[in-house]
Amino acid sequence: MVKKVTLTNSVTKDSIVIDSKDGYYIIDEIDWDTPSVEMSAYRVPYQIGQSYAGLTVGTRKPTITGYVVAKDVEQASTWEQYWQNCETAVQDKKEELDRIISIYQEMVIEANGFYLGARPTAPPKYSTTYKENNEVLCKFILEFECFNPMFYKETKTINFSVLKNKFKFPLTIPKTKGITMGVEHRQKIILFENNGDVPVGCIIRMKAVSDTLITQQVSSITEDAKIIFSDLNMSAGDEIVINTNIGEESVKLHTQSGDEVSIVGNMEVGYKLFKILIGKNYYSYETQPSDGVMDVTFEYREQYFNIRGM
């Protein structure tokens, strides 16, 4: 069971915590919903049965039910004044909830270390009965739709450059020269692991450390796919950003001057914006000339249908 969720407005960055035990917002029930799955198939004449063609996963519509409660209320000399203070505290927290949960702004729901992008489908709904809406508490319902129904973890960043430690103890520093604390090595092949439930896209960043005219190749050994840029003129600080996430695909050059230019025309024919498959994936990177200096990183998020505690 999920005992605590944090709701963050992606625009204002304001957030609230809805807990099962303590706080101004108390969880009553969470329905995470299950996205629909629609399979498609085809058949040819005289075929027995059908052939699988693919599937479509629908959206997720979670609902959070809970209570706004009066807490840390200022004491009063009369019961009437005390109840008024409780009601004021409840109304203040309802206004906070109304401000954070906006149908015009994206939300991020965090639960047990997983995240879910969501959009409210309605403002917070409050009970209309006195039993559930009074001076000390008020029941609310929050309704969302997640157009990407998958939970995700923090972004993983993999760098093709690794630092080999040269530091040894005890430390002796010669008077006439310094010491080497570490040596940077650029790996040619690197292993990525996707422990999620689905293949995911990634963001590949290739940043020039020096001015260079270079041919670059990033390859997915697992998928036998390549992305090659031929004779691309880059200045120090320029960065190629390749986004392979579904619906966000792009290949752009970000220059030091702040320009953003599509460089699909610099890619060799037959390229494929590969995904990070479930399990182990091997990728390679190389440049021509071989001494071209580039910082190369991959960023991706593992995605899951369900999370621990649902």
Alpha helix (H) ranges present in 149-292? none
The residues, any chain, with a CB within 8 Å of residue 58's CB and separated by 6 or more, are: 35, 36, 37, 38, 149
pLDDT tens sequence for the chain (310 residues)? 788 999 999 999 999 999 988 889 999 999 999 999 999 999 999 999 999 999 899 999 999 999 999 988 878 778 888 888 889 999 999 999 999 999 999 999 999 999 999 999 999 999 999 999 999 999 999 999 999 999 999 999 988 765 455 555 555 666 666 555 554 555 677 888 999 999 999 998 888 877 766 666 677 766 677 777 776 777 888 888 989 898 888 889 888 888 888 888 777 766 778 888 999 988 887 766 545 567 788 899 999 999 877 7
Return the structure tokens found at 18. 């809805």
Dump strand ranges (E) for 20-95.
25-31, 37-42, 51-57, 63-69
Alpha-carbon gap, residue 76 to 90, rounded angstroms: 16
Alpha-carbon gap, residue 89 to 211, rounded angstroms: 61
Examine residue 149 and say whether the peptide bond preceding it is cis (omega within 30 degrees of 0): no
